[in-house]
Amino acid sequence: MTQMTKANRELCDRVIHAIGCNTDPLDALNALADALGFQLSLITCPHCRAEAARSFTQVIPDILTHANELASEYATAHGTEMPSVHVCH
């Protein structure tokens, strides 16, 4: 994954805090997708909007890899497991 700037890290922390730990992860991802769509709509140039969307879709494999690594760490670290409200089907 790309290195986050301090401003991006602070924004990320604020978003995570706003979502909270008691939110179903699927609900949180759906809300983030809506927010992403809104932010993309603010880019008035169609070419720039398409480039931003393309850039985002290119990092999705890295996001999934990072998520799997974190999930593995949570599963193996005693006393630091992330509480989850997600019900596995």
Residue 42's Cβ-side half-sphere holds a number of Cα atoms within 13 Å equal to 5
Q: For residue 81, what are the contacts with CB-CB under 8 A and spacing of at least 6?
A: 74, 75
62 within domain boundaries? yes
Domain membership of residue 60 (yes or no) is yes
- Give the span between the Cα atoms of 36 and 28, in whole angstroms: 12
Question: Mean pLDDT across the chain, nearest whole number?
Answer: 85
Structural domain contains residue 64: yes
How much of the chain exceeds pLDDT 70, in percent?
83
Boundaries of domain holding 52: 44-75
Q: What is the pLDDT of residue 23?
A: 86
* pTM beyond 0.85: no
**Cβ atoms < 10 Å from Cβ of 82:** 12
Assigned domain for 10 exists: no
Domain count, the chain: 1
